[in-house]
Structure 1
Amino acid sequence: MTQLTYDLHIHSCLSPCGDNDMTPANIAGMAAVKGLDVIAVTDHNSCRNCAPTMKMAEEYGVIALPGMELCTEEEVHVVCLFPDLRAALDFDAYVYDKMLKVPNKEKIFGEQLLYNDMDEIIGKEPNLLLCNTSIGFDEVYSLTEERDGIMIPAHVDKTANSLIANLGFIPPDSQFTCAEIKNLSKKEELLRQHVYLNQCRIISNSDAHYLEHINEPEHRIEVSGTSASEIIKALKIKA
């Protein structure tokens, strides 16, 4: 078994709230400088900066998983990770079709920059990616599973855009097996209050929107292999 340091919730400059310095090369480079083994770029409702990030990460010797932070119909944020770019982009197309189309106002929300694998700007996403989709929270598990991915309810300890804050409870028929807690000091209290979480692997990511906020190599996951598929498999198993 191998121990990997990770940060699986990072926003690039495609997210309107992401700093413009969050380019694929800068993210991969900062992850390498900090000593992270595996990262995931998870922009709001989009996977379209994953390909250049994966290429840059490979050059820096960092594993990068393609992913997205999906905003559900209930405005619950869910980190979705995939074993390869094909599956991620298929999910991206599905989500974009289900997303509320509101033109982005750059002066209010920020730019939404698309990059190529040379770390060059190739365009902008015109529709605001912060909008919710028509995808219900209870649909996400099957949508990710059929693409061999994983759903991870994001920052469940937060008071906004989290499963617990927005729904008020964890649906008893939920199927997710991994959950993200931003502040791990709240973990024991959350486990007491929400029994469902006791059967889940609990991870903690940065949700970084700025380079300096990317995690230090303090959180680890044990894996049997370093492929994206093996990492996702490990995330599905309670530690």
Structure 2
Amino acid sequence: MNVRCDLHLHSCLSPCGDCDMTPNNIVNMAKLCELSLIALTDHGSCGNCRATVAAGERAGVAVVPGMELTCREEAHVLCYFPDADAAEAFGQYVYARLPDFANNPAVFGAQLLLDAHDRPVGEEPRLLLTAADIGVYDVQALCASFGGVAVPAHLNKSSYSVLSALGFADPAMGFSACEITPSCREELLVREHPELRGMLFLKNSDAHDLGQIGTAEQTLPLSAPTAQALLAYLRGR
């Protein structure tokens, strides 16, 4: 079946995310946009995933728990997981490898933790924008050990992408799919980087505010609008 989806969304836990990006606001905006599947991918944390999954269940929108990981090389990689338990376990692993650098909300923005009814339950004190001590060559296998799949984010961007950091996407990294920006023409990118030939391409909004959700107009051929179906598709199964 063809599933309308947006697989790169930030909540108010990301310091660059708008404070209106709460679990219920996100899933209800996704519903208004007629999206069947979304992914929450905050910077360096899965702390709002469980709440957003629960909010999505009430709204009838499936939520894939995930993270946008900043690797040691300053490249962003989207990490998707089958359920909140796996995502939170991965989040704990990443957190232990983030620099112990305190967030300054006045400079970077607040990092708000909410429950499934959008009630505040805390604020993350450690800055989540910094690079974890995890190499890009290790991310795919690491995600797989938690039942997940890794996808390099906004691959064509001139900053915080695998291509901008390293200049090429080495097949030894193990990625079978990648994300590009909605305006990117994949045939031109493949012509410039032939190592990308045969990869699956995703186009997501990278939404940091409610108005950006669903703007990428992405439809994927999935067996069902579920995290498990998405992971199987990204693995090429």
Q: TM-score category by the smaller chain?
A: over 0.9
State the shift of 1:234 in Å: 1.1
State the shift of 1:222 in Å: 0.9
Partner secondary structure for residue 43 of structure 1:
strand
TM-score by length of structure 1 reads: 0.96
- What is the distance in 1 between the residues matched to 2:69 and 2:96? 13
Comparing 53-62 and 190-199, the one that deviates more: 190-199
Correspondence 1:191 to 2:199? no
Comparing 26-35 and 142-151, the one that deviates more: 142-151
Match of 2:142 in 1: 143
Q: Which amino acid is 2:184 matched to?
A: S
- What is the distance in 2 between the residues matched to 1:196 and 1:86? 34
Structure 1 residues 43-58: aligned runs within 5 Å: 43-58=42-57
Q: Which amino acid is 1:140 matched to?
A: V
Match of 1:94 in 2: 93
| Unmatched tracts of structure 2, length 5 or more | none
Partner secondary structure for residue 140 of structure 2:
helix
Partner secondary structure for residue 176 of structure 1:
coil
Match of 1:5 in 2: 4
In the TM superposition, what whole-angstrom CA distance separates every residue of 1:113-145 from its partner, at most 9, and x where no partner exists?
000112101110001000001000001010111
Match of 2:163 in 1: 164
Match of 1:30 in 2: 29
State the shift of 1:227 in Å: 3.1
Q: Which amino acid is 1:236 matched to?
A: R
Report the number of matched residues: 237
Q: Is the 8 A contact 1:36 1:217 kept in 2?
A: no
Q: Is the 8 A contact 2:177 2:234 kept in 1?
A: yes
TM-score by length of structure 2 reads: 0.97
Partner secondary structure for residue 70 of structure 1:
strand
Structure 1 residues 1-239: aligned runs within 5 Å: 2-216=1-215, 218-237=217-236
- What is the distance in 2 between the residues matched to 1:138 and 1:72? 9
- What is the distance in 2 between the residues matched to 1:89 and 1:185? 32
State the shift of 1:190 in Å: 0.8
In the TM superposition, what whole-angstrom CA distance separates every residue of 1:77-98 from its partner, at most 9, and x where no partner exists?
0000000111101100000001
Partner secondary structure for residue 217 of structure 2:
coil
Distance 1:185-1:233 versus aligned 2 partners, 3 A rule? same
Q: Which amino acid is 1:43 matched to?
A: D
Partner secondary structure for residue 185 of structure 1:
coil
- What is the distance in 2 between the residues matched to 1:207 and 1:89? 21
Percentage of identical aligned residues: 42
State the shift of 1:230 in Å: 1.6
- What is the distance in 2 between the residues matched to 1:216 and 1:209? 12
In the TM superposition, what whole-angstrom CA distance separates every residue of 1:34-67 from its partner, at most 9, and x where no partner exists?
1001001100010010011111111111010000
Q: Which amino acid is 1:45 matched to?
A: G
Comparing 10-19 and 181-190, the one that deviates more: 181-190
State the shift of 1:217 in Å: 7.3
State the shift of 1:204 in Å: 0.4
